[in-house]
Amino acid sequence: MSSISSDIKPKKHYEILDGLRGVAAILVVAFHIFEAHGGGNRFVQIINHGYLAVDFFFLLSGFVVAYAYDDRWEKMTQWEFYKRRLIRLQPMVIMGMIIGAVFYYLQASDILFPMIAGMELWKVILTMIIGFTLLPIPPSLEIRGWGEMHPLNGPAWSLFFEYIANILYAVLFRKFSNKVMTIFVLIFAGLLINYTVFGPKGDVIGGWSLNLEQMNVGFTRLLYPFFAGVLLCRLGKLIHLKGAFWICSLMITAVLAMPRIGDENSLWMNGLYESFVIILVFPLIVAIGAGGEIKNPFSLKVCKLLGDISYPIYITHYPLIYWYTAWVVDNKVSLADGYYVGLSVLLASIILAFVCLKIYDEPVRNWLQNKFQKQKPASAL
């Protein structure tokens, strides 16, 4: 890597958006804990729409990427953009895979993960190394039995699509006018509605397997929210409300906790709800969050902490969830009997994320920034 020019000065953070990312990340962990007790029945799942946090993350990411880079391309090459994104995201991708490998054999389950007990160590190590790159694991290297493209750390699938979105933005979409971008966003919204309302499941669950069906789900989930976030930032139509962080936190909690809409005979109803949330409610939340100001020092500290740990929580918690789910299934543990362990998993996920942030992620990113974002000598410019 050559150094990244320091002519590109950092911009201020949207503290409220950082905080909302943390709220959503914690809700994801809670969703996965409750999911262990749901027996795979989406109609009784508590925090039923927790998986929509991924779509919210995509929209936030598109907004923040456009804010950070739309006006910088005269001073920045595509490769410099990619390096900046890699420095921001890749260290914790690697840590998430390492944690997944460390916990892998502890997740052995005769019912849920029968492959684990007899799995060769070399295959686990190879899966971890491939996972470092975020390249999808081929079916021939299946080590869990769930068909995930990243079986050591399932949520890494969304980072795979995040990188695709960044490439699409840098290569093509950043060049589009707002009118052209609007046309594409409307097309992507139509694809989302078509899949959720008229599709076979009535939801956007999926995207984590390397097959045609799941890749279709992944791209359907990615394209509208990410590029709607880009367009929202460009249009600058923000909403200014007092107490924006707490209002938005309540909104994101409400839409993710909403019970399943309809039943097996009316899947379109839930699909309509999810389309409404992704297409309209999430942009509204981001517009309020970006337009708000934090004047209370306590709220500012809360947003700062939540924003700092949001990504580490999301990318490291799932190895604990694999273990917890296996424990629940093997022992037929009800929520009433296992809630205290579930709370411990939630707390452990937050602590693990904070420790990873402080002793690994921040130092590594600082080192990479110092090494690859130094001022270029004049002769090299």
Query: Mind listing the pLDDT tens digit for each residue in 123-155?
Result: 999 999 999 999 999 888 999 999 999 999 999
Determine the average pLDDT of the residues in 88-106: 98
Q: Is the pLDDT of residue 168 over 50?
A: yes
Which pTM was predicted? Answer: 0.94
For residues 310 and 148, the answer to whether their CB atoms sit within 8 Å is: no
Torsion of Cα atoms, 81 then 82 then 85 then 91, to 10°: -150
Is the pLDDT at 377 greater than 50? The verdict is no
Q: Which residues pair with 113 in a beta bridge?
A: 109
Return d(Cα 266, Cα 262) in angstroms, integer.
5
Give the confidence band of 9 by pLDDT, cuts at 50, 70, 90. low
Q: How confident is the model at residue 380 (pLDDT cuts 50, 70, 90)?
A: very low
- Other C-beta atoms lying within 10 Å of the C-beta of residue 127: 23
Please give the pLDDT value at position 37.
95
Domain boundaries, the chain: 15-380
Closest-CA residue to 3 (of 84, 117, 110, 92): 84
Average pLDDT of the residues in 47-67? 97
Q: Which residue in the block uniquely carries the two structure tokens 């590109």?
A: 8
Q: What is the pLDDT of residue 372?
A: 84
Q: How far apart are CA 73 and CA 244, in angstroms?
A: 31
Each residue's pLDDT tens digit, 286-337: 999 999 999 889 989 999 999 999 999 999 999 999 999 999 999 999 999 9
Do residues 30 and 195 lie in contact, with contact meaning Cβ atoms separated by under 8 Å? no
- Which of 136-145, 160-169, 202-211 shows the lowest mean pLDDT across its residues? 136-145
Q: Which two tokens stand for residue 109?
A: 């389950």
- Local confidence band at 214 (pLDDT 50, 70, 90 cut-offs): very high
Question: Which helix H or strand E contains 326, and what residues bound it?
Answer: helix 318-331
Place 234 in a pLDDT band, splitting at 50, 70 and 90: very high
Cβ within 8 Å of residue 355, ≥6 positions away: none
Burial of 150 (0-12, 13-18, 19+ CB in 10 A): buried
Give, rounded to a whole angstrom, the gap between the first and last alpha carbons of the chain.
15
The average pLDDT across 198-226 equals 96
Cα dist from 376 to 1, 7, 68, 348, 380, whole Å = 13, 9, 21, 42, 6
In three-state secondary structure terms, 109 is strand
Q: Are 246 and 221 in contact (CB under 8 A)?
A: no
Long-range CB pairs of 135-142, under 8 A, 24+ apart, other chains included = 136/160, 136/210, 137/210, 138/210, 139/210, 142/115
CA distance 36 to 44: 12
Choose among 319, 271, 329: nearest CA to 151: 319
Q: How confident is the model at residue 3 (pLDDT cuts 50, 70, 90)?
A: very low
